[in-house]
Amino acid sequence: MIIFGSIFIALLLAGGGYALYLYDQLSQTADDIHEPIARESELREPSNTEENSSSGDNAESTSTEEDEENPQPLSFLIMGVDDEESTSGRSDTMILLTVNPGKESIKMVSIPRDTLTEISGRGTEDKINHAYAFGGAEMAMDSVEGLLDVPVDHFATVNMQSFEDIVDTLGGVTVQNNLSFEDNGHSYPEGEISLDGEEALSFVRMRYEDPQGDLGRTERQRQVLDAVIQEGASISSITRIQDYLTIVEDNVRTSLTFADMRELQSDYRSARHNIDTLQLEGEGIMQDDIYYLELNEQRKNEVSDQLKEHLEI
């Protein structure tokens, strides 16, 4: 979502018919990938507009003007969904972002896919990545809210099969690798490394050679997402933008409207320069011969408190 909004920056820097053409392309793509949701977070207070609806148009207008002048912190759940038949649509990657425009900062926490938690609406505990398979984006959002006790305002899903194309369209990414390893014929030495799409996909998926297991993998996912956000904001070639939009249209779905994306570009874009990573911790356990990650409760609460502070709730 932040990545897509960054493309809008290139539009504003363009001129004349070029800008108009890109605007139409962005608008059409945004409409195509929009997937509305019926839910509202139970952890959010009612909007001022709803509270003042009985006070007349003047109160509603004042509330709207205040919201525009003081954009509020928001949260976004980004899910990498593997469409391979064997995975039944489970979310292979789950990353929660909180964006605070006033502090011009983002907090990012990767949620290990094997995390044992209650699946909202089912009354049972399971791996958190099963929530998307059971009930789509809304059940996943509700389950993450239940896990971390913070509101989830928007979502975006990205087909992991398109991840290579996204990175290649951006011209590759550069990350700081903390673990030397080899995977799928690719070598990843320690230090700063540049990755093309295929290398980046293997980089974020490897976990069995990592002594930290799923926690190590979530950190690599965070690094690549951070790099993609920075690269996405620098796209200027119209050909690259068109290629990017084609990939997005085929492989991304989000609750954001085009108006939401314009607001992100206008009020939230500076936050991408200050990204703080929060790390969950836990231990692997076996239940009925199935592996789960049981989160450290104290650390989970610490992460939750930091997210709440960042969301100003």
C-alpha angle 229-233-237 in degrees, rounded to nearest 5: 130
Residue 113 confidence (pLDDT) above 50: yes
List the structure tokens of 168. Answer: 């290649």
Q: What is the structure's pLDDT at 261?
A: 84
- Please give the model's pTM, rounded to 2 decimal places: 0.78
As a whole-number percent, the residues of the chain with pLDDT over 90 amount to 42
Inter-axis angle of helices 2-13 and 238-251, nearest 10: 150
Instruction: Tell me if 127 sits within 8 A of 48, measured CB to CB.
Output: no
* DSSP per position, 6-67: HHHHHHHH--HHHHHHHHHHHHHHHHHHB-------TTSPPPHHHHTGGG-HHHHHHHHHHH
Residue 231 confidence (pLDDT) above 80: no
The residue extents of the domains of the chain are 2-311
CATH of 2-311, one of 3.40.50.620, 3.40.630.190, 3.40.50.11540, 1.10.10.10: 3.40.630.190
End-to-end alpha-carbon separation of the chain, Å?
Answer: 22
Query: Considering only CA atoms, which of 249, 252, 293, 253 is closest in space to residue 113?
Result: 293
Instruction: Tell me if 156 sits within 8 A of 76, measured CB to CB.
Output: yes
Q: What is the structure's pLDDT at 53?
A: 41
Instruction: Tell me if 167 sits within 8 A of 221, measured CB to CB.
Output: no
> Is 156 in a helix, a strand, or coil?
strand
Q: What is the structure's pLDDT at 48?
A: 45
Listed range (15-24, 71-80, 193-202) with the worst mean pLDDT = 15-24
pLDDT in tens, 146-192: 999 999 999 989 887 787 888 888 889 999 998 899 988 899 999 99
